Amino acid sequence: MRSLAVLAVLLSLPPLLAVGQGADAPDFEYARDAVEQGKILPLAEVLAKLHETQPGRVIEVDLDEEDGMTLYEVELVTEDGRLIEVEIDAASGRILTLDEEDED
């Protein structure tokens, strides 16, 4: 949860000097720059949109690239205790997959 809060704060900050960024840049720098450039939506906006259709407590968020698409991968726990994994197109906020974790 702490990393989610840190990412949300960093995405709301103005851009810092972009020295040596690129493929080797830390995730938070990549995310901040992508939001500033309009390539992806801010995490807070995506989570608010997700909460409208799938309420729950967010426990983990990853920003990944898959097949040339940037994705927010969100894990949340519903009020009744189910673990849900959601893949969201980071550029549009559209939910791509929503899977409930099985208890194995």
Q: Tens digit of pLDDT for each residue in 35-94? A: 999 999 999 999 999 999 999 999 999 999 999 899 999 999 999 999 999 999 999 999
Amino acid (1-letter code) at residue 79? E
CATH of the domain at 19: 3.10.450.40
Count of domains observed in the chain: 1
Characterize 50-68 residue by residue with b for buried, 16 or more Cβ atoms within 10 angstroms of its Cβ, and e for exposed: beeeeebebeebebeeeee
87 — alpha (psi -120 to 50), left (phi > 0) or beta? beta
Q: At what angle do helices 2-12 and 27-36 cross, to 10 degrees?
A: 40
Question: Which residue range is the domain that position 41 belongs to?
Answer: 2-100
Q: Tens digit of pLDDT for each residue in 3-34? A: 544 445 444 444 333 333 445 556 788 889 99
